[in-house]
Amino acid sequence: MPHMPRPGSLAHHLGMEFLEAGDDYLRGRMPVDARTRQPFGQLHGGASCALAETLMSYAANLCLDPVHKMGVGLEINANHVRSVREGWVIGTARPVHLGATTQVWTCEIRDERERMVCTSRMTIAVLVRKQHRID
């Protein structure tokens, strides 16, 4: 059964669901509906970026000790290669680099027929949580 993001979050508002996690990926989906379409009726590129960033950020933090570290977005880019007007889009985030201070992730978003919709790449800054900093 899909896992919903935290109520009140952008991911929750846009109807995203986490579907499955493996050793080297996190998969989720988002509906293409009134919340995620641009005025011309197609999936909004910003909504694709929101799905990609949500999956990559969440996955990055699954790789960290949540008591001492947290990952935050530093940079994201996206190429939108196909329009979608209805249904669901499914994103899969995978790590490219898992370093001590940065992580790099990619996310491919596909339609229900598994056609590429968007490909995105994100750099995550790995920060020490403030309560554990030694100054």
**Is 53 among the residues known to form the active site?**
yes
Segment 109-115 long-range contacts (CB within 8 Å, at least 24 positions apart): 109/48, 109/51, 109/52, 111/82, 111/84, 111/87, 112/87, 112/88, 115/82
Instruction: Identify the three-state secondary structure at position 52.
Output: helix
Strand order of the β-sheet with 69-80 is 17-22, 25-32, 87-98, 102-111, 116-128, 69-80
Q: Pull the structure tokens for residue 65.
A: 């000790």
Out of 17, 20, 53, 114, the active site residue is 53
CB neighbourhood size of 20 (10 A): 11
Active site residues: 53
